[in-house]
Amino acid sequence: MLFLFSISAAQSQTSLESKLEALQCHFTWDLDPSKSILLRRKEKFEDIGTEEGNSWLGHIYNLRGFVQYKLGFTEDAQSFFNKAAEAFRKIRNADEGPWLVVNYGNLAWLHHHLGDQAESQAYLSKVDALMNKYPSPSQDQLHPEIYAEKAWTLMKFSREQKKRAADYFQRAIRMQPDMVEWNTSYVLGLEGSVQYKKKVEADLLEKMRIAKEQDPENLYLAVHYLHQCAQNGERIEEEARELARKVLKNPVSSYSGIKPLLKVYSYYVSIDVAIDLIEEALKTHPDERYLKRCAALCYKWKIIYVSDSRPNPSVIDRAISLHKEVIALYPHSFLMKKIDLANIYAQLNYGQAEAEQIYQELLESDLEPADKQMVYYCYAKHLYLYCRDYQRSIQYHMKVAAIPHQSSYRWNSITTLKKIRDRGSHMCREIEEFLENLQEP
């Protein structure tokens, strides 16, 4: 009897797990990065505003809940999943709907991992009920609400997934074209895949214009559209001032539009005006770490990229103090900021030792291959530009290329090595041999 009971329990468990695997939710979307990347994502998602009225608030909470679960914080995960359900109810003004399918799927998985199989089964039943009550308009495709959340999640979680995200957004929009926020995010995803200083194609610019008309309150979209107008030679100063006034009134968020607006000011108006703008925002919100991060960026641009005049000591001091503060405020996303700080020091006659010390600390750190590649690449450039140590610079470009991870850093290092080889460097034979033996990722 006991033997038969054990078989039945095992079969029941297998059946539950197969049902869980079939769900459409964060637990089944192959979102499985390393712990260090998860910690960075956590910090990034914390900067997305959670003010009421944000049409993606439910999706934000779902995503943050999943990240907390992956990091081992199950109580926080459940709290975020519950917040997601409540946010959807407020935004959609309904107690239930197909937008809850992903949320209930997440909760089914969470309770399964917590060992509460009865509660897991209860959420599976809720998913079934929703899918029966709200079937997809197209029999061979997922419900548009699921496609939209999957698209939004992939777009936020991984740069490499943007093509898939665009495809899912298109499917969702075709089935439910009246969802303005879906089209806005789709267009922003397309624009985000274009390098910042490059113009978008005419058809995408037109899509952005139409999306802006349909979503006039979305300042983040408005700023990105303004940037593209500036790329096409339009005068944008007056509209930039008007947008700045609106952006500064909004709650602080990485999607308020402040960071892309600062870029627009820096490239097309004045870096000093951009600095004045972010300092004004910090006076109103002195404790907002995201604004401090944006301010650090502006000062970096001023010192490293603006060559018309040497910054005065107060600007340099402010840049250094902001970078140190931001490094402390983002303990898991410090890598690029430490490199920025090293580059600021390298610009100063008295800062070479500090720059070298920062790089040595990073080089000795236990980093993942992609991060190690970035550090090696930045150090290779540092050695070339500031130390005039061309041989060691070449060696570090080789270290970048030797890591079998496809990235812009690897591509740039290989390109640099080929150029050096072709110029007839004294190391050309060594470089040639290295490139011939290079393993492709």
**Residue 142: what residue type?**
L
- Give per-residue pLDDT as tens, 154-186: 998 877 788 899 999 999 999 999 999 999 999
- Going by pLDDT thresholds of 50, 70 and 90, the confidence category of residue 114 is very high
What is the pLDDT, as a whole number, of residue 105?
Answer: 98
Q: Is the pLDDT of residue 265 over 60?
A: yes
| Domains of the chain: residue spans and CATH | 12-134 (1.25.40.10), 366-441 (no CATH)
- With contact defined as beta carbons under 8 Å apart, do 103 and 58 qualify? yes
Q: Please give the helix or strand (H or E) that residue 283 lies within, else none.
A: helix 271-284
For the stretch 355-394, pLDDT in tens is 999 999 999 999 999 999 999 999 999 999 999 999 999 9
Joined tokens for residue 179 = 């969802």
Give the predicted TM-score (pTM) of the model: 0.90
Query: Could you give the C-alpha distances from 185 to 10, 166, 208, in angstroms and in order?
Result: 44, 9, 10
For residue 105, give the 3-state DSSP assignment: helix
Q: What is the mean pLDDT of the chain?
A: 91
- More reliable by pLDDT, 359 or 428: 359
Q: Pick the residue with more confidence: 12 or 201?
A: 201
Q: What is the pLDDT of residues 277-307, one digit of tens each?
A: 999 999 999 999 999 999 999 999 999 887 6
pLDDT at 219: 95
Q: Is pLDDT above 90 for 16?
A: no
CA distance 273 to 281: 12
Closest CA to 171 of 141, 135, 209: 141
How many Cα neighbours within 13 Å face the side chain of 333?
18
Res 323: pLDDT = 97
DSSP character string of 49-103: ---TT-TTHHHHHHHHHHHHHHTT-HHHHHHHHHHHHHHHHHHHTSS--GGGHHH
pLDDT of the residue at 12: 59
Which pLDDT band, with edges at 50, 70 and 90, does 196 fall under?
low
Q: Is the pLDDT of residue 401 over 50?
A: yes
What's the pLDDT score for residue 308? 59
pLDDT > 80? residue 439: no
Q: Quick one: pLDDT band at residue 441, thresholds 50, 70, 90?
A: low
Given a contact cutoff of 8 angstroms between Cβ atoms, the answer to whether 303 and 347 are in contact is yes
pLDDT at position 198: 66
